Amino acid sequence: FLTGKAEERLSFDIQREIAEALGYHDHPGLSAVERFMKHYFLVAKDVGDLTRIFCSALEDQQAKDTPGITGVISRFRNRVRKIAGTLDFVDDGGRIALAGTDM
């Protein structure tokens, strides 16, 4: 919002303004910006860790083999298929994947 445009990076020129807006203050040994960025990094790391755990759990649920004839049928159903309207992506067992390795 500070830059007036969509921005996903937290550039140096706006870190101080954001730190002040969020109420961070200088303390002995660390400036307000350093405290803010340290806290931001720790929270971003936690979000990344939780995302990996969540995605791993979803992949485990989807990857479980089905015994018997149902398992044989599902292997045919889950093969790689082309997606209409694009040559770059395929449906790989219900997941969107790159069609080639050259990207």
Q: Which domain holds residue 61?
A: 12-98
Q: Are 33 and 19 in contact (CB under 8 A)?
A: yes
Mean pLDDT of 55-67: 75
Is residue 1 one of the residues assigned to a domain? no
pTM metric for this prediction: 0.53
Q: Which residue has the higher pLDDT, 96 or 52?
A: 52
In the chain, the number of structural domains is 1
Alpha carbon distance 33, 51 (integer Å): 26
Is residue 7 one of the residues assigned to a domain? no
Is residue 90 one of the residues assigned to a domain? yes
Q: Which residue has the higher pLDDT, 24 or 88?
A: 24
Q: What is the pLDDT of residues 70-93, one digit of tens each?
A: 666 666 666 788 888 888 888 887
Is residue 4 one of the residues assigned to a domain? no
Q: What is the pLDDT of residues 36-55, one digit of tens each?
A: 999 999 999 999 999 999 98
| Distance set, CA 60 to CA 54, 64, 68, 75, 97 (Å) | 10, 6, 19, 16, 18
Q: Which residue has the higher pLDDT, 22 or 6?
A: 22
12 token code pair: 């140096």
* pLDDT, position 51: 94
Is residue 87 one of the residues assigned to a domain? yes
* pLDDT, position 75: 61
Is residue 60 one of the residues assigned to a domain? yes
Is residue 3 one of the residues assigned to a domain? no
Is residue 6 one of the residues assigned to a domain? no
